[in-house]
Amino acid sequence: MYKDICILDEKDKMLHKKCNEATFPLSDEDIKLIDGAIDYLRKSQDEELAEKLGLRAGMGLAFPQMGKLKRIFVISYKREDDTFLEYVIINPHIISYSSEMIYVEEGEGCLSVNRQVEGIVPRHARITVGFYDINGDYHEERVREEIAVAFQHEIDHLDGILFTDRIDAKNPFKGVDILRSI
């Protein structure tokens, strides 16, 4: 546990439940959880801090992973220049997606899955997402590559799906020859 952030393990049944739409204005508890998740993700991507605090590296965290069945997730992506690209995404829906499919070459990871998982997860290379921000304002954003994968991974969490559910159990590397790796 880090501050008020307790991340559920994949064995927890809550991670396989669909989340409810968040309502506005957000509660103080929701805002505190958003701030805590962003803080966790930033610190988890700093090797020295992560080791000192015992944090596993991550770039996204969805509310169901923290025990709240609300359609909210945050992404904190550390760029090459050590700045962060951050999103607070509320009640998202995918508007469109590319036909090009990709996968993460090293394999996807998840803060709720505390084990190495073999296999690939096919994802769309680009998606357009409609969502609300922390103030309840609506936005549409086109994301690509790593950020598109992160959005799809976190939206799956909101729908009760873990990345491990998307790996073909009989052929974990199915599609590796036709999908582009990132």
Specify which residues 94 forms β-bridges with. 129
Amino acid at residue number 18 = K
The whole-angstrom separation of Cα 122 and Cα 181 is 10
Between β-strands 180-181 and 101-103, what pairing exists: parallel, antiparallel or unpaired?
parallel
The whole-angstrom separation of Cα 147 and Cα 89 is 13
Q: Which residues are catalytic?
A: 154
Percent of the chain with pLDDT over 70: 98
Q: Does residue 2 carry a pLDDT above 80?
A: no
Q: How confident is the model at residue 1 (pLDDT cuts 50, 70, 90)?
A: low
The arithmetic mean of pLDDT across residues 157-180, rounded, is: 96
Q: Can you name the CATH fold of 24-181? A: Peptide Deformylase (3.90.45)
Could you tell me if 37 and 88 are in contact, meaning their C-beta atoms sit under 8 angstroms apart? no
**Element holding 32 (H helix, E strand):** helix 28-44
Amino acid at residue number 166 = R
Residue 4 has a pLDDT of 72
Q: Does residue 11 carry a pLDDT above 80?
A: yes
Query: Can you count the helices (H) and strands (E) in the chain?
Result: 3, 8
Find all residues with CB under 8 Å of 54, minimum gap 6, and list them.
2
pLDDT in tens, 27-67: 999 999 999 999 999 999 999 999 999 999 999 999 999 99
Residue 65 has a pLDDT of 98
**Element holding 141 (H helix, E strand):** strand 138-144
pLDDT in tens, 78-119: 999 999 999 999 999 999 999 999 999 999 999 999 999 999
Q: What is the mean pLDDT of the chain?
A: 96
Q: Hey, is 86 helix, strand or coil?
A: strand
Q: Does residue 178 carry a pLDDT above 70?
A: yes
**Element holding 51 (H helix, E strand):** helix 47-53
